[in-house]
Amino acid sequence: MSGEELVSALLEATGETAQMVVWSTLLTVLFGLPLGVLLVTTERGGLTSAPPVKAVLGAVVNVGRSLPFIVLMVAILPFTRLVTGTTIGTVAAVVPLTLGAVPFFARLVETALRGVDRGVVEAAQAIGAGRTRIVARVLLPESVPGLVAGLTVTIVALIGYSAMAGAIGGGGLGDLAVRYGYQRFDTAVMIITVVVLIVIVQVIQSLGDLVARRLSHR
């Protein structure tokens, strides 16, 4: 591959990866954040104590977490087709990516929310704040640094998953590396692709750390 071809291939692949990761991240937050909140509030003695609900949610999340991503991806192909009308391409890849990341992110949200001092929640209750207000104005704001850290880890994981999703037709950097490096023995392309991935992950992790630190007032 010529230098010029390589650059344009890299740009295109990076764009595809970005597309997959951005969309699946947005959807993961959309579903995973409320799920994580519920995992905390539905436990016995929680804000909306409902142990049976907690048991079901916990089980669902655990199943989702224990499924290897590659298996999940294949297993939900019919669902992916139902939602997007296709099983290949970046848009189709967003479905398994989101499904794989939601339980992961939800657990991280749960952990972050558990870091909020019980006494602070109690103080809010003593003040006469309602449950919605306590979630929106106490639990979530108080755990913002933890949530940002969790989101960073999730995005990095999604970049990894997206490489896998790409390999079965989603495109992106992972796909590029596999196609050239593995199937055509073009080691240079593979190495460059890997370097690009490493740089992206580094940048995102550092950015996430920085934001988390900036938002922490502890």
Partner 1 sequence: MIKLTDLRKVYENGVVAIDGVDLGVAEGEIFGVLGQSGAGKSTLLRCVNLLERPTSGTVQVDGQELSGLGRADLRRARQRIGMIHQHFALLSSRTVAGNVAFPLEAAGVPRAERAARVAELLELVGLADKAGVHPAQLSGGQKQRVGIARALAGRPSVLLSDEATSALDPATTQSILALLKRLNRELGLTILLITHEMHVVKSICDSVAIMSEGRIEEAGRISDLIATPGARLTREIFPLPEPAPAGTVTVTFAGQADEPVMSALVRKFDVDVNILGGSLEELQGAPVGRLRIRLDGKGAADALAYVRERGLLVEVAA
- Residue from 154, 183, 174, 33 nearest 93 by CA: 174
For partner 1, the closer CB: 52 or 119? 119
Which residues are CB-neighbours of 129 under 8 A, at least 6 positions away? 137, 138
> Cβ 125 to partner 1, closest distance in Å?
6
Contact by Cβ (8 Å): 25, 161 = no
Question: Binding-site residue total for partner 1 (CB under 8 A)?
Answer: 20
For partner 1, the closer CB: 139 or 158? 139
Q: Which residues 111-130 are close enough to bind partner 1 by CB under 8 A?
A: 117, 119-120, 122-130
> Cβ 46 to partner 1, closest distance in Å?
14
> Cβ 30 to partner 1, closest distance in Å?
22
Contact by Cβ (8 Å): 97, 161 = yes
Q: DSSP code of 14?
A: H
The C-alpha R_g of the chain, in whole angstroms, comes to 20
> Cβ 142 to partner 1, closest distance in Å?
5
**Contact positions toward partner 1, by CB under 8 A?**
117, 119-120, 122-130, 133, 137-138, 141-142, 144, 217-218
